[in-house]
Amino acid sequence: MALRVVSSSPAIFSSQRRAASVLPSTVTLPNTNSSLLSSSSAISSIDRTKSVTLRRKTSRRNGVVTCSASSVLPKALLFDCDGVLVDTEKDGHRISFNDTFAEKELGVTWDVDLYGELLKIGGGKERMTAYFNKVGWPENAPKTEEERKEFIAGLHKRKTELFMVLIEKKLLPLRPGVEKLIDQALGNGVKVAVCSTSNEKAVSAIVSCLLGPERAEQIQIFAGDVVPRKKPDPAIYLLAADTLGVDPSSCVVVEDSGIGLAAAKAAGMTCIVTKSGYTADENFSNADAVFDCIGDPPEERFDLAFCGNLLEKQYVS
């Protein structure tokens, strides 16, 4: 039976790793060893002590956040883009797909629920191809496979242009805590990258427009067709680690979806999930930690020190 502990900020930890650095509101610890975890009050006490220690050791000097609570920090912090940096899917990508379909008079509209199902397929071009293969191709679509690839590529290019307009107008804000965690990483010499199945131009627009040019200059982007196989394949995360010159085991990934989590774990990386609108009910039992967001103080869920503690494996298991 799972042991549930009630405290103050939402988090869920896997059965393999028990965090002692954040004070969770509802923590599920499946298959708990009763000799190690004798009571919920004991766990709550441990979490509360660690949480205070972490915050006291996080400071800001000259506008730079420093973090010294963990003796080990990640070598690289790797973010997914859509749903992690920005909750883009429902009111961003979906709208841009539908506007593109309308412009091309395809007679296709993806409603909220349908798009949620389509998100199980990584990549916009792959998503459209799978959809049309299942329900039938529009009458004005080409008939040969090669022509259809070009047709899909054209649709995706236009969809990306429309999506970038939304980003440039800043109609889709960053999720809470994103700037904070990136600033902590950059301020402590931790490499930062964004690894996404989305088009590289769209991801670059999000990073430069919403995070600003100074941060963007220090963030590497791995996106779109940079790898032949998209998430849940680990290729994009392995490419990032290789390019950054870091061992996958020293990386912490922030994801929001099951396919992203699968990619990170297959790459041998620690993965924190921050649920997004479309992924709240997905199964994240394989994640190292699960939160509703990163969060800014006073509602902060986790910080860079917590990421270091995950790598140090400071848990009861």
State yes or no: cis peptide before 232, omega within 30 of 0: yes
Query: Which of 47, 80, 233, 292 is labelled catalytic?
Result: 80
Query: Which of 82, 87, 183, 303 is labelled catalytic?
Result: 82
- 3-state SS, residue 271: strand
Return all residues near 295 (Cβ < 8 A) that are at least 6 apart.
Answer: 9, 176, 177, 301, 302
Beta-ladder partners of 290? 12, 273
Report how far Cα 128 is from the mean position of its chain's Cα atoms. Answer: 22
Task: Kindly provide the b/e burial profile for residues 77-90, where b requires at least 16 CB atoms within 10 angstroms of the residue's own CB.
Answer: bbbbbbbbbbbbbb
Residue 225 bears catalytic tag: no
Return all residues near 245 (Cβ < 8 A) that are at least 6 apart.
Answer: none
Rounded to whole angstroms, the Cα distance separating 7 from 11 reads 10
Residue 111 bears catalytic tag: no
* CB contact at 8 A, 70 and 185: no
Beta-ladder partners of 79? 194, 254
Alpha helices in the chain, H assignment, sequence order: 40-56, 94-103, 112-118, 124-135, 145-168, 178-187, 200-211, 213-216, 235-244, 258-266, 304-312
C-alpha to C-alpha distances, 54 to 122, 177, 186, nearest whole angstrom: 36, 16, 18
Among all residues, which ones are annotated catalytic? 80, 82
